Structure 1
């Protein structure tokens, strides 16, 4: 009996020893439980370059908590597990967001939005930002995400005087973003740029004052950026661009949101009778084809899903004959998010002049199918440039285009949470319909880490997206 007890004690000690060894090698932060490794990369000094996404812009503003939840900040927290150094961000002063001057909020810079459940609308927070637009911060910094930046801006000397987000952190007024980043002697970089090269045009409904960056220009400036960032064999990760047609800014407002009763529909049809007859006159004189007449003919019915009327500059120009370029929207057009609060309003309080119905929506409210095609063609070209740069330099590549398509169709399951691009409820995007929510940024960070693992042999597990909130509260004290 004593002998058996001795054996049991020996077995128990051996079992404990084995468990202790297992616990010593199992790392919950790695993809496979083995010890974390940086693989062939050196993450000791990481810099991030990009636009508002890299900065952590959210809810239509840049503010401190959003910056803390930026995807580069999250990535840096993972790099720290394998020896990554401090990651310094040019923080805003508060969680109101944007800039002030002389104690007055500057309208084009914030404040952030919060979701007012009582009215089901995004609402600006009250208060004035304490981040004065004239204040300059001392570096060096690691996060060079600059809201509003295009690819052409990152290597443009003097950009600091044109964009206060860079001006507040630039080493001089003639500095460039990429040169300031490289001057910190980084060992690893991330670059996600190019969204604004089409987004300004798209969000303005294709207004020509916000032109798409020519593809030849993008190709040249992007490759110049990569040349500087990969100098000396430096490793990094880059990302391609999603189609704007997958963003909630363009998919939330339907093309046919107008409810009408029979009497109102009849009144509208009578009002557009002269226009429709003018189209037939133009056709009879060889100025329009039957197909375009059908495209431009405006008709309403007693229905909850009447199409809005829009101005389309791509239609045959007949203004010289007194016939404007009107048509009703189709599923191939995208109505921009701000139009949600504009469609159905009246002009000067006149009930007969209803925007989107009796008064056609101007170009700024709609990205037409022709404009969508222009944006898509440019995005495809940019993405080829990005792909070629990744291949030529052995860089990790995040396929943001495919990921965004999945978010806008089937959704993506991450940490047992389903993420979609649905406005407000999809968990991925903030209230401005373009920039991610905290959970969306966490998801993006994990995709960057996944690409890094695949290219450099690291094994980061990433963060649990479920620990990141979907919407920021109204009161900054609740952050």
Structure 2
């Protein structure tokens, strides 16, 4: 993955004022109609605890995934509840952090831990029954075989087994594949959170509208980051909820945030660049391959900051490649697909009687700014206080915000009274001394 060292950080120094902790009235804790004894979380990087461009735990980052935070609060109302997640050791998969270099703060890559390899962390055990089933990079379409497609189980097995982030699960073999849905069915969950679907848009968008085509020997070409068709998404989401429904589990589903509103797309602006920028339009544009001047309707990704730092994008002959920009046509495509998939999430949740945490609307609230315990949060890069350095995933405080949103919906839907966490008690971005 590209480095982000050329991002200007001068405007992003966050000053945190002292704040008063939230005071909670005393009340009797109870689970309501929910059973939290075996809480299982399914999802992607947002569920696994990914932040700063990796899964790392040298300062307890992955320990503060939103499911881990949520499970700790569940244990207050059900002390017998257990939750086990496959955490990484130290640097984990590697990540990015801030360092002082030549009297400036810059983003620097931190290498993976020695325990990290092609199948993830050496401490992971495929025979262990984990509660957090979040796998960074996984799409919903990778989780469930496509109905009527005989090659689909094999393709999904190839994709999931070659993703080190999912190395804690047994994916079987090409000839005897085990799907993510199979792991859900074997989870015996009494309660679940389902935040699948983000990567069915996000992977395409963060790749600048590129489908990520690769060729698999004996199988052919597949697209690793292609957006999932609405009808396919609907069928597969229904399959996941049917699995939980049949085991008698209760739970909460979550919608997909508008990916174009995250700092990854809103930080490198034409105003900040202060110059004309030439871009190449992508294959989903009305004029694929066309080179033109960027407008405010085009979204330069954080990766474009490296291009600009290398002198790319300032002439028509040397434009920013389409993979590093979501052009105006692609912005509309991604926003439209997000709304369509969210419609299916809500419809399938209603079909099975599960409540929905509307993360799409919550992200809109965060964009406008929210204040908790005297601390302001918004969706700005670094200074907003909720996102990690990759501009896509939350930091610990951001994951605490997410956990509280799930808690709010759980309490409303199931009559429980899980106490929310104090977000300011969690760490944000670490600045160098």
Q: What is the TM-score with the length of structure 2 in the denominator?
A: 0.81
Match of 2:326 in 1: 367
Match of 1:180 in 2: 183
Match of 2:89 in 1: 93
Match of 2:417 in 1: 459
Q: CA deviation at 1:31?
A: 6.3
Select which of 285, 289, 292 maps to 1:327.
Answer: 292
Which secondary structure does the structure 1 equivalent of 2:194 belong to? Answer: strand
Q: Select the structure of larger CA radius of gyration.
A: 1
The CA deviation string for residues 48-103 of structure 1, in whole angstroms up to 9 with x for no partner, is 00000100001001123222000000000011112252101112122x121xxxxx
Q: CA deviation at 1:307?
A: 2.9
The yes-or-no answer on 1:193 pairing with 2:186 is no
- Partners of 1:357 and 1:257 in 2: how far apart? 18
Which secondary structure does the structure 2 equivalent of 1:120 belong to? Answer: strand
Match of 2:403 in 1: 445
The CA deviation string for residues 177-205 of structure 1, in whole angstroms up to 9 with x for no partner, is 23223323111011001111111111111
- Partners of 1:312 and 1:355 in 2: how far apart? 13
Any residues of structure 2 matched to 1:12-411 within 5 Å, and which?
Answer: 32-64=25-57, 65-83=60-78, 84-94=80-90, 96-98=91-93, 111-117=94-100, 118-126=103-111, 128-134=113-119, 135=122, 137=125, 138-156=127-145, 157=153, 158=157, 160-170=160-170, 172-173=172-173, 174-209=177-212, 210-258=225-273, 305-313=274-282, 314=285, 316=287, 325-346=290-311, 354-358=312-316, 359-408=318-367, 410-411=368-369
The CA deviation string for residues 410-433 of structure 1, in whole angstroms up to 9 with x for no partner, is 211223321111111111000011
Query: Does the 8 Å CA contact 2:190/2:248 hold for their aligned counterparts?
Result: no
Q: CA deviation at 1:316?
A: 4.8
- Partners of 1:426 and 1:151 in 2: how far apart? 29
- Partners of 1:399 and 1:256 in 2: how far apart? 32
Indicate the structure with greater helix content: 1
RMSD of aligned alpha carbons: 2.3
> Structure 1's 417 and 182: CA in aligned 2 closer, same or farther, altered over 3 A?
farther
Q: CA deviation at 1:397?
A: 1.1
Q: CA deviation at 1:325?
A: 2.3
Match of 1:295 in 2: none
Listed as ranges, the gaps of 5+ residues in structure 1 are 1-27, 99-110, 259-304, 318-323, 347-353
Alignment length (residue pairs): 375
